[in-house]
Amino acid sequence: MRVAVAGTGYVGLSVALLLSQHNRVHALDIVPEKVGMLQRGVSPIRDVEIERFLRDKESMGLDFTATGDVCEAYGDADFAVVATPTNYDTDTNSFDTSAVEAALDAIRSVNPDCWIVVKSTIPVGYTQMIREKRNDRRIIFSPEFLREGHALYDNLHPSRIVVGAPRDDLEARKAADMFASLLEGGAEPEERERVNADGTTGIPKLVLGCTEAEAVKLFANTYLALRVSYFNELDTYCETKGLDTAQVIRGVCLEPRIGMFYNNPSFGYGGYCLPKDTRQLLANYRDVPQNLIQAIVDSNTTRKDFVADEVLKRVNKLVYDGVSKPVVGVYRLTMKSGSDNFRASSIQGIMKRVKAKGVPVVVYEPTYRGDEFYGSKVTKDLDTFKHECDLIIANRWNDDLTDIQDKVYTRDLYRRD
């Protein structure tokens, strides 16, 4: 098969690499520097598997193109995958899908017949709407479930493969089946033998209606945000009432229906997807009764307010103890340890709140290119950072901090993501 991919971010690049094992793949991005790096075999993002694939698998059928060569990238594709951003637009209360539509325009300008698979996360109902609006029946949707930092790994070992096509369109369902098989074909061979929790064997392949597939993506991410919020609110309660959070979490999570995983408190859920996807699902509930979805969105703001207040309490204590103008250090802007990406990370929300109270903030972020972040000094020198700051906040612990742990405020109880 010939596959084109629009967008070489976390989603587009991992899908392109996955499919290039058995297909001819051409990926296009509008950022020429990114394309230049990829053409040299250098990954623009930190991801062990992506870096390894780009380094070791030079003979794979994969090309990268910058905008301008639309015909070269999309012209002869059988499938064109769209993996462009869908940021949340607070003015329209919905995802901004303009980058998806720009990619659809570009693909159709040179290739009227290929199947377009939207991999970007989109509002529930979008595929059906865009098919009708453009009078284009060759658009289907496949949600992406990867985690940043493990983007390609999660495609090589997928929890499930979901593709959405209208239930009454046999041709589209056949294309959805074919695309699901392409994704399955790229997965590690041992995944085809695995036994799933429901007793089935192999990678579960679900060909659903488009709208159901869109709902799967937003409900899955909103559930993850719910779980993060739940343990964060448990922690807020324990901190406020002087209880030992770790003891309570252990006692709660040893219940097998709850489970001892994904229960580590933090400064709030963050990253590119959970904040925007929860808000989009809430927007989709516009005319449907709900309490929980609104609460999941609100809970994250309440958590950040709480964490910022805890930080400010400690700052005030330092003043009381005689430190004239305490400096708060932000240890990493990233959401997770091992990541080089800090889109919508929760620590930024804490930083903003603390700065709004006039407290000076210094940031330690070795992956940041500039010297300032929202008016705060950024340093790459850890020793200077430790020396300069009176209190250090860290969403995730790192052993780098051991020698000054008395200065550190974190809620990372288990010292893992």
Ligand X SMILES: NC(=O)c1ccc[n+]([C@@H]2O[C@H](COP(=O)([O-])OP(=O)(O)OC[C@H]3O[C@@H](n4cnc5c(N)ncnc54)[C@H](O)[C@@H]3O)[C@@H](O)[C@H]2O)c1
Backbone angles phi, psi at 330, to 5 degrees: -100, 110
Pairwise CA distance, residues 337 & 50, whole Å:
18
Q: Provide, rounded to whole angstroms, the least separation between the CB of residue 101 and ligand X.
A: 9
In three-state secondary structure terms, 229 is helix
Q: What is the DSSP string of 72-111?
A: HHHTT-SEEEE-----EETTTTEE--HHHHHHHHHHHHH-
Report if residue 144 touches ligand X, rule: CB under 6 A: yes
Nearer to ligand X, 6 or 393 (CB): 6
Pairwise CA distance, residues 273 & 151, whole Å:
13
Report if residue 28 touches ligand X, rule: CB under 6 A: yes
Q: Which part of the chain contacts ligand X (CB under 6 A), choosing from 9-17, 192-200, 206-214, 247-255?
A: 9-17
Report if residue 73 touches ligand X, rule: CB under 6 A: no
Pairwise CA distance, residues 56 & 254, whole Å:
43
Q: Provide, rounded to whole angstroms, the least separation between the CB of residue 120 and ligand X.
A: 3
Site size with ligand X, rule: CB under 6 A: 26
Q: Provide, rounded to whole angstroms, the least separation between the CB of residue 145 and ligand X.
A: 6
Q: Provide, rounded to whole angstroms, the least separation between the CB of residue 276 and ligand X.
A: 7
Q: Provide, rounded to whole angstroms, the least separation between the CB of residue 381 and ligand X.
A: 29
Nearer to ligand X, 104 or 207 (CB): 104
Q: Provide, rounded to whole angstroms, the least separation between the CB of residue 92 and ligand X.
A: 16
Report if residue 30 touches ligand X, rule: CB under 6 A: yes
Report if residue 99 touches ligand X, rule: CB under 6 A: yes
Q: Which part of the chain contacts ligand X (CB under 6 A), choosing from 6-14, 192-200, 308-316, 348-356?
A: 6-14
Question: Residue 368 gets which letter from DSSP?
Answer: -
Strand 24-29, strand 62-66: pairing: parallel
C-alpha distances out from residue 6 to 25, 88, 221, 304, Å:
11, 20, 23, 35
Interface residue with ligand X, options 4, 6, 116, 139 (CB under 6 A): 6
Interface residue with ligand X, options 94, 120, 284, 334 (CB under 6 A): 120
Report if residue 12 touches ligand X, rule: CB under 6 A: yes
Residues contacting residue 358 through CB under 8 Å, at least 6 positions apart: none
Residues forming beta bridges with residue 2, ordered by sequence position: 24
Q: Which part of the chain contacts ligand X (CB under 6 A), choosing from 27-35, 107-115, 129-137, 324-332?
A: 27-35
Report if residue 83 touches ligand X, rule: CB under 6 A: yes
* Site map (CB under 6 A) of ligand X, residues 255-284, x = contact: -----------------xx-----------
Q: Shortest CA distance to 174 belongs to which of 100, 284, 78, 101?
A: 78
Strand 94-95, strand 88-89: pairing: antiparallel
Pairwise CA distance, residues 241 & 262, whole Å:
23
Q: Provide, rounded to whole angstroms, the least separation between the CB of residue 358 and ligand X.
A: 34
The reply to whether 210 belongs to the active site is no
Residues forming beta bridges with residue 118, ordered by sequence position: 82, 141
| Structure tokens belonging to residue 46 | 């930190």
Report if residue 148 touches ligand X, rule: CB under 6 A: yes
Alpha-carbon dihedral of residues 99, 105, 111, 116, nearest 10 degrees? Answer: 50
Interface residue with ligand X, options 15, 53, 85, 269 (CB under 6 A): 85
Q: Which residue is nearest to ligand X (CB)?
A: 9
Pairwise CA distance, residues 20 & 63, whole Å:
9
The residues annotated as belonging to the active site are 273
Q: Which residues bind ligand X (CB under 6 A)?
A: 6-12, 28-31, 34, 83-86, 99, 102-103, 120-121, 144, 146, 148, 272-273
